[in-house]
Structure 1
Amino acid sequence: MTGWPGRTGRGGNQAGAGDLLALVRSGRATTRGALQQATGLSRATVGQRLDRLFRAGWLREGPGGPVGSPLGGRPSITLEFDDEHAVVLAADLDTRHARAALLTLTGDILAERTGTLVVEDGPEAVLGELGRWFAGLLSGAGRGAGEVCGIGLAVPGPVDSESGRVVQPPIMPGWDGYDITGRLARSFADHTGTPATPIPVLVDNDANLMAYGEQRAAHPDCSAFVLVKVSTGIGAGVVVDGSVYRGIDGGAGDIGHIRVPGGERALCRCGSYGCLAAVASGGAVARRLAEAGVPAASGSDVRDLLAAGHPEAVGLAREAGRRVGEVLATVVTLLNPGVLMIAGDLAGTPFLTGVRELLYQRALPRSTARLEVVTSRLGERAAVLGAGALVVEHLYAPERAEERLRALGV
């Protein structure tokens, strides 16, 4: 091997320290000899690159390998990503509820909090309170603010990934175009008493981050993965070849606003009539139950009724599943995923039965021949875990890692 494909710079087409870190993290090369073989770099150059990573605290030496080095000789000392040198904060905002967690760099939860946060109260109030939650998680776990390398946030609306701002979110009044990353960074600094230096904050749609977390945890070999969240609204997250597919400005997966036959009189929160979310979301099912005299105000109320086996809730959930399944037949035919995951408040047997009825009836047989239709494995933690993973993958990606190493002076 004579060069490192895809990277250029002052040293020419060669692997940098960030590339070596990526090889170690992925398990593709975990010894000095294997890194030489994978990159074509000399032993001295590999040593220099690794020295930077050791000084930053990002790598550590593990035990000796069971076999000899690829270049011959005694078993080599293995290299490992040091997941103890930093922590990540992540949060998942729903319409009236939130979950926040302190995570290791490998996704283990060190501390967690859930509670009421109402997105309709606006970004100033919600993000200010979230900063207080973060400070409490750090304090309770005995960790310092300086150990936090980044923050991830899941929100129930479309997000422009370049700016981190939500774009015309139907169920987040007052958030359109708001500087979420700046406000959350300031709130974190205020509540932890740290200098107001910018901390990386990544924001994405909740269905995207649920899909990212679930795909990595349970279906890492699935190259086309779709998750559909059915709660207050309806949204989908798509992961292709290990990366979230967002479209050109974050609007991919917004299936809740596809118009469906027979829903012309149903007013959606986006202002249009006949959207899928207006007839088949948890909120829509709750409204129909309330009209029938059953106490239900939200998707979470419907979830509780389904858990209790309430017959009318079961029937309406199955009907909602059929409406969603009709739309998913097109989604599956277009994307040809290996896994279709149903998540959210309605993700139980009645809804899933309805989805399958229409999906297999309407989709092309070829599109469903190898399709797995499953429910969530991570449950209510999926978006938080996905947000944490997104931060880590962003910060330790080769080019970004190089920038951070330079900033650290190593």
Structure 2
Amino acid sequence: MTGRAGRTGRGAGQASSGDMLELVRSGRAVTRGALQQATGLSRATVGHRLDRLFRAGWLREGAGGPAGSPLGGRPALTLEFDDSHAVVLAADLDTRHARAAVLTLTGELLAEHSGTLAVDDGPEAVLGELGRWFARLLSGTGHRAGEVCGIGLGVPGPVDSETGRVVQPPIMPGWDGYDIRGRLSRAFTEHTGAHPVPVLVDNDANLMAYGEQRAGHPDCTAFVLVKVSTGIGAGVVVHGSVYRGVDGGAGDIGHIRVGTDTLCRCGSYGCLAAVASGGAVARRLAASGVPAASGSDVRDLLAAGHPEAAALAREAGRRVGDVLATVVTLLNPGVLMIAGDLAGTPFVTGVRELLYQRALPRSTARLEVVTSRLGERAGLLGAGALVVEHLYAPERVEERLTAMGV
């Protein structure tokens, strides 16, 4: 037996409607005959379970014409996931800016807004403002708030995925342990009048990694993304799933000690982020008289070809590359992606210099070091994909169908 039905422990003849939806969504079985073969179910049982998905509006017959059946006989129509029955809201918070979007269930961007939104203002104000942004975006697309099936949010701090709460975030004062899911759900209902929907929260680097891996490197079984902006964080995707550690702390490489006496925003001395982040480079530029207050300011200076900014970015890249040598040796990824405000030629050059010098040759023999493909939208697309994968996982499909009375 193939597909998710086998991975969930259900044997032949026990696949649910949710298992069938996943087989169709993944492309592993897109006809009734192929579903019979993959699940071991009879034609009548397959038809009954598919009927639940049709009645929910989650499945449709494909417009691509007939396809051959593995069981022989007349050609069978293909089955498709119907992405028109709902939309997803997504937002990505940085320290001083945010982006929000309306997405289809297959990741198409329908509307987007970005603007100034400082996490220092605290969760009550920030999440309330996101609720207003979502209402305006929905209005602009013509979609009703009742069509929203879920909300995904990326934040610049470690997140306990079980609770959706940030845990001791170094650069998010006032957010530690706050009920982000509850507040954002209330903000959504306050500004749209719709019923509450599920809210998923994750670290921004995790969501960027998830979005980038799915979009550009779906066959890479070990993928690492390093975001270098005002702070530094990493996201790890292994076999298509985000690796978070036991409580969401995986990938927090910005607070690895690198042997300096520089004070970090987390309160410790010598953290990588204190000397090699966009914020650290901005502080050094400002000390020499160059106007810069954040990673985004450094990004603008690099784009303008500012020589001092380029030199400091390369130096920062070497420091990060030194730490990444250990990361690469430990994880042996196929792709290492550099993203964020500093992800330009000077910084990446610095990373490469130290990474290949310090890492084991065996660990880098098949390694690709690349820069972001999706850019500033990576976190939004990752957040949207996370919501869809959560809501349409086989076990949750069964729960939702039952709740709908289907």
Shorter-chain TM-score tier: over 0.9
* Cα 1:8/1:208, change in 2 over 3 Å: closer
Equivalent position of 1:357 in the other structure? 353
1:2–1:40 Cα contact (<8 Å) kept = no
Deviations 1:328-364 (A, max 9, x none): 0000000000000000000000000000000000000
What is aligned with 1:35? 35
Deviations 1:136-175 (A, max 9, x none): 0001111101100000000000000000000000100000
Q: 2:238 aligns with which of 240, 249, 260?
A: 240
Give the drift of 1:194. Answer: 2.3
Quick check: 2:224–2:337 contact (8 Å CA) kept in 1? yes
Structure 2, gaps ≥5 residues long: none
Partner of 1:80: 80
Which residue in 1 is equivalent to 2:220? 222
Which residue of structure 1 aligns with residue 257 of structure 2?
259
3-state SS in 2 of match to 1:296: coil
Contact 1:122/1:174 (8 A) holds in 2 = yes
CA contact (8 A) 2:13 2:39 kept: no
| Counterpart position of 1:112 | 112
Match of 1:312 in 2: 308
- Alpha-carbon distance, 1:68 to partner: 2.6
SS in 2 for 1:194: coil
Residue 395 of structure 1 corresponds to 391
**SS of the residue aligned with 2:162?**
coil
- 1:354-410, CA deviations, whole angstroms, 9 ceiling, x for partnerless residues? 000000000000100000000000000000100000000000000011101111110
User: Which residue of 1 is the match for residue 372 of structure 2?
Assistant: 376
Q: Counterpart of 1:128?
A: 128
CA distance in 1: counterparts of 2:284 and 2:8, whole angstroms: 57
Residues 1:406 and 1:260: Cα distance change in structure 2 (over 3 Å): same
Match of 2:178 in 1: 178
CA distance in 2, matches of 1:53, 1:191: 31
- CA drift of 1:2 comes to 11
Other-structure match for 2:202: 204
Q: Name the counterpart of 1:273.
A: 269
Contact kept in structure 1, 2:66 and 2:78, CA below 8 Å? no
Q: Is the 8 A contact 1:7 1:15 kept in 2?
A: no
Counterpart code for 1:285 = V
RMSD, aligned CA: 1.5
TM-score by length of 2: 0.98
Q: What letter matches 1:409 in structure 2? A: G
Give the Cα separation in 2 of the matches to 1:278 and 1:402. Answer: 47
Residue 225 of structure 1, CA deviation:
0.1
CA distance in 2, matches of 1:321, 1:64: 48
Structure 1 runs, 4 residues or longer, greater than 4 Å off: 1-4, 6-9, 64-67
Q: TM-score, normalised by structure 1?
A: 0.97
| Superposition deviation, residue 65 in structure 1 | 5.3
8 Å CA contact retained: 1:6, 1:13: no
Residue 142 of structure 1 is matched in structure 2 by 142
Q: 1:168 to 1:13 in 2, by over 3 A?
A: farther
Residues 333/42 of structure 1: CA separation in 2 closer, same or farther (3 Å cut) = same
Tell me, in whole angstroms, the C-alpha distance in 1 between the residues paired with 2:144 and 2:217: 34
Q: Any idea what SS the aligned residue of 1:5 has?
A: helix
The 3 A distance-change label for structure 1 pair 170 and 7 is closer
Deviation (angstroms), 1:103: 0.2
Match of 2:400 in 1: 404
The answer on 1:159 being equivalent to 2:155 is no
Is 2:318–2:354's contact at 8 Å kept on the other side of the alignment?
yes
C-alpha contact 2:164 2:201 (8 A) present in aligned 1: yes
SS in 1 for 2:6: coil
Q: In structure 1, the residue corresponding to 2:257 is in which secondary structure? A: coil
What do residues 202-241 of structure 1 show as CA deviations (whole Å, max 9, x unaligned)?
Answer: 0000000000000000000000000000001000000000
User: Equivalent residue for 1:103?
Assistant: 103
- Please tell me whether residue 5 in structure 1 is matched to residue 6 in structure 2: yes
Letter of the 1:314 partner, please give it: A
